[in-house]
Amino acid sequence: MIESVPTSRGIQGYSYTSVTLKKIATVIPAKLQRQNYFFWKLLFEQIFSRYKLMGIVDGSEPCPAQFLTDKEGNDLTDQINPAFEIWHDKDQAMLTWMRSTCSEHVLPFTAGLASSRELWLNLEKRFQVVGVSSEYRRNLAAAALATTDICDAHPDLLASGDLRLVPQVFQKYGKWQAFAGPVVTLKVFEDNTLVIELLSTKGEGRVLVVDGGGSMRRAVTGGMLARSAEIMGWAGIVINGCVRDVDEINECEIGLRALATCPVRPIKNDSGSGQKHVPVSIGGVLIHEGEWLYADGDGILVSSSELSI
């Protein structure tokens, strides 16, 4: 328990006083670095909204006056305003939560900041990345080629192996049935630290292909990561593993393929166990960084180069 927060003061619904630093550490899967700021922010927005604290950092719930006043409006400096005490306790709890999730490289940017809003705005000023528009995402989906047309137009590439069919073992999630783009590869096992790192950066219409070792024991992507991928402009995600928060994922304007769902969260490894930008094998099909992936309701194709029909 955060000792500075008196447990007798709760709020309607969820009580912020029940939040411990240990609980925050389980919700925020990686220490804040420059490259994962966007995902970190989304997670804290979810926490603050759940506990009705968002107004403190966005400025819509300003700090009440510190002292009560008399009939003439003069401060009674010996009488602390109870509303101020409650607001201040919440604010300092939030400041502690955020600082507890900062990496050693980010902590210096929190020095001397006395309120959660000051810290929130300072981090946003330093690390904020602008997401893409809804029109951009719609154009990504519209640009995807039909896999049947690709196969009909390029039988020679199918025969040579420059165009490969990925085995039909994936379930479909997300709003977009069809997506396409150059491939970015990851190889992980039940640890999504590197997935967070990449999906927090600009996608630029690319497709993240994650070899999760086919594990059915833990999910490596959930609703918040799908939301991050959507906002940052990733065209799609293909996971040789599991996802969770399916209802949230299905509300995202992105295409996602995974083997199945699993409610168990991934493990957390601050060192980011796994490999980036290496060849991965999905269902026996070798996929290299920079190749092109095309997916729709009929299947998934991987091409050595961008195709036209």
Residue list for the binding site for Mg(2+): 245
Contact between 163 and 146 under an 8 Å Cβ cutoff? The reply is no
Nearest to 170 by CA among 231, 115, 241, 108: 241
Cα 202 to Cα 308: distance, rounded to the nearest angstrom: 25
Collapsed DSSP state (helix, strand, coil) of residue 109: helix
Instruction: Report phi then psi at 141, rounded to 5.
Output: -65, -40
Residue ranges at the known binding site: 222-225, 244-245
Q: What are phi and psi of 261, to 5 degrees?
A: -105, 155
H or E stretch including 118?
Answer: helix 116-127
The torsion angles phi and psi of 58, rounded to 5 degrees, stand at -90, 0
Binding-site sequence positions for substrate: 222-225, 244
HEC per residue, 203-214: CCCCEEEEECCC
